[in-house]
Amino acid sequence: MGVTITMPQLGETVTEGTILEWVKQVGETVAEDEILVEISTDKVDTEVPSPSAGVLTEILVAAGETVAVGTAIAVLDSGEAAAADAPAESPAEATETGTAPPQAPPSAPDTARRSVLSPVVRKLAAEYGIDIAMVPGTGDGGRVTRKDIEAFAASSAATTAATPEPAPEPTPVPAAPPKPVAPPAAPVTSRAGDADVRDIPRLRRRIAENMRAARDTAAHVWTSVEVDFERVERVRAANRDRFKADEGFSLTYLPFIARATLDALSEYPDVNSQFDLEAGTWTYPRSVNLGIAVDLNQGGLVVANVRGADSLTLKGLARQIRSLADAARSGKAGPDDLAGFTFSITNPGPYGSFMSAPIIPVPNAAILSTETIVKKPVVVEAVDGTDAVAIHHVGYLGLSWDHRVFDGSTAVLFLNRIKENLQTWDWEQELS
């Protein structure tokens, strides 16, 4: 019986997918839930398992082609698979019945099949710094799968954790802080004079296409305000150790900024709206899905979606932001984790930025940028009305906004609402 396999909908907002690689080829037997094909959407690359056992009889969409969700991409013959997958008599059982065949030497893994690695496997191996040759493959012909990489990484981490630290040297020399590890460059495909020419990675190509389309669509304007973060910093410093012990990660400025921003979005809903000039529609979501830009160790950028962020507490925001960022960097974020946001925040501040003007992720109306927070002398007013100079933690917030959707007064009022929240709220109460 033939089973038609269609392009799956890998997320509620996904409408099409691109075939990256057929893991199985025509004529090969496929077990149920065995990885059949690698598919790329505009958000993530995904290994897709077979919905049933069978023999792959037809491939209808070749690698590299993009088709809509629901399009037939392959055909399985489940009748042949049923016979192929019937449980074989074990050697022990065969011996008991007197039908044991001569024993052949164990077969070695198929070297050709083992060398076939999906893009997801290659990406995970690079992120974990794993030598593929060291990983036992459980796939067809000894092929290394995503689960093999994750299991090997977990095993290596457990071994490392169980290994006692060596005794320190009598006079240890402080080591320099580790530098960020850049992702492996794409292989050189040709040379032009004194330059190497490389293929553009899929994620970088998607980013380039989306950024160009956004610039061609939205009327970009940029506005910024200076914010005194001293009140936030004092609460953050007072709760730093307890928060780290309770949550397992550091309390950064980002959840404070996110919480203050969500309040401002409720006051200025145009900033959280979606504008479609061609369709003549202006959509106002009933809640805020907050996008947080996540850098993939310099290998690209994705936006993680904190759904229903306006219903979360400060701690809840911190947990969700951390969880989604970890999932995105480890390649475990699903398509729905990276789509559907209504407003987003990009956070170049930890890298030392002064002011940034990010591109708006259309159809959103705006995006907020958080910059580096540093100590600066500021003028403060004493209780008696006199002025004094004090050292406070100060930074900038920048808003890229679409002038088709709202005007400068809304942009400035929105930013000033965030600023007022950060400078005046009882953050100790918010954190409790």
Please list the active-site residues: 403, 407
What type of residue sits at position 342? T
What type of residue sits at position 186? A
> Which H or E run includes 157?
helix 146-162
Q: Which of 415, 385, 379, 417 is nearest to 397 (CA)?
A: 415
Query: Helix, strand, or coil here: 16?
Result: strand
Cα-Cα-Cα-Cα torsion 313, 316, 322, 323, nearest 10 degrees, comes to -150
C-beta separation of 318 from 292 below 8 A: no
Q: Which of 272, 260, 253 is nearest to 360 (CA)?
A: 272
Which is it for the CA torsion 312, 314, 316, 321, positive or negative?
positive
DSSP annotation of 364 reads: B
Give the separation between CA 296 and CA 328, rounded to whole angstroms.
8
User: Which stretches does DSSP call E strand in 213-255?
Assistant: 220-228
Which residues, in sequence order, are CB contacts of 107 under 8 Å at separation 6+?
Answer: none
Q: Is the peptide bond before 106 cis (omega within 30 degrees of 0)?
A: no
